[in-house]
Structure 1
Amino acid sequence: MDYRRIWHPGGTYFFTINLLQRKNNDLLIQNIQLLRDSIKAVKVNHPFKTHGWVVLPEHMHCLIELPANDIDYATRIRLIKMGFSKAIPKNERRSAIRIKRGERGIWQRRYWEHLIRDEADFQVHLDYIHYNPVKHGWVKQVKDWPYSTFHRWVERDVYPLNWAGIDENLYGVE
């Protein structure tokens, strides 16, 4: 399959990054501080602005903006994944191919990325990030999920604290 990535200097991107073994895996939230440390370390040499982030037990979504003349989101994602992988004990199952390549068996090799096109696209993806714990059934209300940037946006008066409860119609579609 031919994967084509869009490289836009200073672009804002939405990402979905999955663990390799998603079923019954809570590795990310059990090691949330190690993940935060990895993100923070990457930002030192490869800065980016975080607009939104949610970490679920086995995957995460983020909305980040690169510096004005920078297109290299791939290095940032690779380094975040690598930093996290190096920080946790080596006790995961690995395939023969991963062993041969010296790879950990933590992350899916690929990730999904989307270049944000405009303000409406930005808002839809920011909403998606924050609603995701409800969508997956981890909580009934967005405010109850501790591993997201939702509360930062509440502090900025962008979202009300009670936004997007389980019964709310998120996108206004009947």
Structure 2
Amino acid sequence: MTDYRRTLIPGATYFFTVNLANRRKTLLIDHIDLLRDAIRYTRQRHPFLIDAMVVLPDHLHAIWTLPWGDADFPLRWRLIKTWFSRNLPLDEHRRASRVDKGESGILQRRYWEHLIRDEIDFARHVDYIHWNPVKHGYVARVVDWPYSTFHRFVDNGVLTKNWACAANGAGFGEHD
């Protein structure tokens, strides 16, 4: 088995993907306010900048920039996942193997992280994040998905509401 090591660079910018344990559930948008509270709770204790983010029913993508001198994104994700899971209604099913290990069983143990290397890498990942609801068929236009920083980018004049219409949106992804 390969010994996986995370790249921990203080003050760096990272792209993340976090998934529900049960990918058929819609907990992240069903309980979007709890997720927002979990993020707020964590940011108050361990600040970080959310550069871009999208929340889909069963997973989310985010780009964070950590403060100078701080590389501890694993702590932040642990706090977010724990707070969110503990504050969900008690009727959410948890797998026995997770309960035995003292885990919530709501979100997958692991998550994907990628160190953003330069401005082009950053821009491609922001595009990927904002295009994701269309890619997965939840909406026909990026502007129609409410759980995305796309709206902040429009409000700040960085993007227009008709950015990446379906006709020209193909190709956004990690492998471009």
Superposed displacement of residue 171, structure 1? 4.6
Aligned partner of 2:83 in structure 1 is 83
Superposed displacement of residue 93, structure 1? 3.2
Aligned partner of 1:125 in structure 2 is 125
How far apart in 1 are the matches of 2:125 and 2:135? 14
Q: Determine whether 1:14 maps to 2:15.
A: yes
Identity, % of aligned pairs? 55
CA RMSD across the alignment = 1.3
Q: How does 1:4-83 map to 2 (within 5 A)?
A: 4-23=5-24, 25-83=25-83
How far apart in 2 are the matches of 1:11 and 1:106? 28
Q: Structure 1 stretches of 5 or more lacking a match?
A: none
Letter in 2 for 1:40: R
- Sort the Cα spacing of 1:97 and 1:171 in 2 relative to 1 into closer, same or farther, 3 A: closer
CA deviations 1:74-116 (Å, max 9, x no partner) are 0001100111001102333333321211211201100000000
| Over 2 Å off, 4+ runs | 90-97, 169-172
CA contact (8 A) 1:134 1:165 kept: no
Output the TM-score relative to the length of structure 1.
0.94
Q: How does 1:124-163 map to 2 (within 5 A)?
A: 124-163=124-163
Aligned partner of 1:165 in structure 2 is 165
Q: Structure 2 stretches of 5 or more lacking a match?
A: none
Letter in 1 for 2:14: Y
Output the TM-score relative to the length of structure 2.
0.93
How far apart in 2 are the matches of 1:106 and 1:98? 9
